[in-house]
Structure 1
Amino acid sequence: MTYTFGDNLATGRRAWELGHQIADAADRLGKTPALDVRPEDADVVYTLYGWWRFVVRSSRAYWLAWENGYSVESLPLVRNILDHTVSMMWLHDGGELALTVVWNAGETHRNKLIRNVVDTGWHTAKDLETTSSPLALIPTPDENDPTYPAYQKLLGEFTHVDQLMAAYGRSTDYPVYRTLSAYSHASAQSANRYLEMKDGQVGVRLEPQRTDSHGPIIHIAMALIQAGDVISSCLARDPLRQLLERAARDIGLGAPELLRAARKKALPTNP
């Protein structure tokens, strides 16, 4: 039988095996005492590394949950994996300016959390207020800075997934993200997976309805190839390259470069 890439059992099996091979290689690489980083990627590589490990371990968490019958309940993990993977491409392309966006967004989130904690009278509020954060030291470009328009564009992309995916020509991935979001929040979709019609009456289920879709497993394998492509390119000797190229060919999508989306329009600048 001829292999055809798609939401089918053959692709699902390949994705499962290749995903585990990449995750195993990632774990071996992660056990090295220190990263051998290419100088041009030194600014962003450690944040990229953190996101990459999040992708790898979230993939393992999904596989473990899926093997134990937790299919619907683990879908939010796939949503997180997709978000982090495209964000890795975005950060690697955006460099230090994109990193500034990430750190400042983190500081903004931290400050809002502190205000919330203080307003609600948590007993830990005093400790939080006096905890310094290195993120506060990252400067934000002012309106006259040549990089200000690019910074604003990057900020919009980082805080709005639809803008992020559109910037990389991946708008067709956004409906997948939105579908998965229905299982990250209370929704009719998350409720309906535990309900069914029986003789014209609503019946209830102990476990959710399962589908024949292999989509989540395939998406995870693709994400591991893409995320691996980003981090490996930041390291001396590109240690995962051979494995990633073989995995991309075996799953039926060609070289990882075909999966590594590029920004469709250059970032704006002040005249």
Structure 2
Amino acid sequence: MAYKFSDSPATLKRAELFAVKLMQEADDLIKTGSADVRWEYKKAFPIMFGWWRLINRSTAAFWDLTGRGYTIEAAPLMRNIVDHTLAMVWLADVGDDGLPALELSAHYSQDKLAKLAKELGWSIPPGADQVSPPVPDTDPDYKKYTALSGEFANFSNRVNAFAMRDMYVVYQYLSRYSHASLHTAAKYAQLQDNGP
């Protein structure tokens, strides 16, 4: 059976039914305490599972908020869902080569944070700003992993890698409500000029 989706209340209702079922299946899986994983996916599984679970729980939180009448307050959750969904697509596409790239990306982020904290006089654990990268520059695949790390680290790079530039518009729109801006203020108050 195939469904044709359109921007309508019927499609929303159908999508919600599927989503509720998927969410219930996710919760049921968690209750089992384990999952069988094909051998070739064992390395990527913990990351994919973690992102998938975060997406599921963020979706539940999003539904809870919107069901209680919240709107832009839930936008950061939707942005996070979009980001992590594309991260899963990216990792599925690049396969195990994405794992060292993710480690490099996490290393660069942690290294940058430790150096900034130290620069600002924060007390950091000894050597926290001197950790060696998880992939040395002598590794024959170092350039490939750093390129993939750069592709992953920036949402714009990920959408370009999949020729899905329109998703960047969605991400940018949601970002307006994820950071302090005129958009977040304008939802709650408008200036009315009633004269002097």
- TM-score normalized by structure 2? 0.84
Partner residue, 1:175: 169
- How many Å apart are 1:130 and its aligned residue? 6.2
Check the 8 A contact 2:107/2:133 in 1, yes or no.
no
Q: Is 1:186 matched with 2:189?
A: no
Amino acid at match of 2:86: V
Which runs of 5 or more structure 2 residues have no equivalent in the other structure?
none
State which of 160, 163, 174 in structure 1 corresponds to 2:154.
Answer: 160
Cα 1:138–1:21 shift into 2, 3 Å: same
Cα 1:95–1:9 shift into 2, 3 Å: same
Check the 8 A contact 1:73/1:183 in 2, yes or no.
yes
Per-residue displacement from partner, 1:226-258 (whole Å, max 9, x unpaired)? xxxxxxxxxxxxxxxxxxxxxxxxxxxxxxxxx
Partner residue, 2:90: 90
Check the 8 A contact 2:105/2:150 in 1, yes or no.
no
Find the aligned partners of 2:172 and 2:133 in 1 and give their Cα distance. 35
- How many Å apart are 1:33 and its aligned residue? 2.4
Which runs of 5 or more structure 1 residues have no equivalent in the other structure?
203-271
* RMSD between aligned residues: 2.6
Partner residue, 2:135: 139
- How many Å apart are 1:53 and its aligned residue? 0.7
Find the aligned partners of 1:58 and 1:4 in 2 and give their Cα distance. 26
Check the 8 A contact 1:43/1:95 in 2, yes or no.
no
- How many Å apart are 1:73 and its aligned residue? 0.6
Amino acid at match of 1:193: K
Partner residue, 1:46: 46
Find the aligned partners of 1:138 and 1:107 in 2 and give their Cα distance. 7
- How many Å apart are 1:191 and its aligned residue? 2.0
SS in 2 for 1:81: helix
Amino acid at match of 1:30: I
Partner residue, 1:216: none
Check the 8 A contact 1:100/1:140 in 2, yes or no.
no
Check the 8 A contact 1:183/1:189 in 2, yes or no.
yes
Partner residue, 1:244: none
Number of aligned positions between the proteins: 191
Cα 1:76–1:21 shift into 2, 3 Å: same
- How many Å apart are 1:172 and its aligned residue? 1.5
Amino acid at match of 2:135: P
Check the 8 A contact 1:156/1:163 in 2, yes or no.
yes
- How many Å apart are 1:113 and its aligned residue? 2.2
Find the aligned partners of 2:94 and 2:22 in 1 and give their Cα distance. 25
Partner residue, 1:7: 7
Cα 1:103–1:6 shift into 2, 3 Å: same
Amino acid at match of 2:112: K
SS in 1 for 2:74: helix
- TM-score normalized by structure 1? 0.63
SS in 1 for 2:70: coil
Cα 1:21–1:129 shift into 2, 3 Å: farther
Per-residue displacement from partner, 1:79-134 (whole Å, max 9, x unpaired)? 11111111111112222221111112112222222233333344xx34x4467xxx
